[in-house]
Amino acid sequence: MQQQTSTPIAADQSVFTPEEAHAMCASGAASLLTVGLHETGGILGFRRIAAIAQVFDINVCIHGVWETGITTCASIQAASGVPNMDDGNQIMWQLLDEDIVESPDLTPSAGKISVMSDPGLGFTLNQDAVGRAAEAYDKKKALEAT
């Protein structure tokens, strides 16, 4: 438990619902919640969990998954305005051979990515990359069917 050590403890992929967030925070077992949009049901779910953690003076950070830049943009928008947002967040779009997001450039600068100002989640799709991804998916499905 957090009270028994001076080492900060993160609850990584241990919280998926507001009820679990409340129980984890109230227990004092963690000094940080690592959660993602995929775990919490989207932007609203993430922000609900962040709000619960804030009541207990606990920070949150974003857990990434194998994702495209779309999820990265959604995560950035979800995190914007969250007062207890930690600065240790994950992104994983860069692990793809090719992303389907054309803009903005999601490469961190000095460890940060700015909040997008365009409408919606703030990205533009690369239609050619979407086409190539669709072709690759169709080829994979065809191979699996044989």
pLDDT at 130 over 60: yes
Tokens representing 128 are 């050619």
β-pair type (101-103, 124-125): antiparallel
Query: Can you tell me the distance from the alpha carbon of 29 to that of 42, in angstroms, rounded to the nearest whole number?
Result: 25
pTM score, two decimals? 0.85
pLDDT value of residue 3? 56
pLDDT at 20 over 50: yes
Which superfamily, per CATH, for 2-145?
Enolase-like C-terminal domain (3.20.20.120)
> Using the 8-state DSSP alphabet, how is residue 114 labeled?
P
What are the extents of the domains in the chain? 2-145
Tokens representing 114 are 């700015």
pLDDT at 29 over 80: yes
pLDDT tens readout for residues 63-103: 988 889 999 999 999 999 999 999 889 888 888 889 999 99
β-pair type (32-35, 10-12): parallel
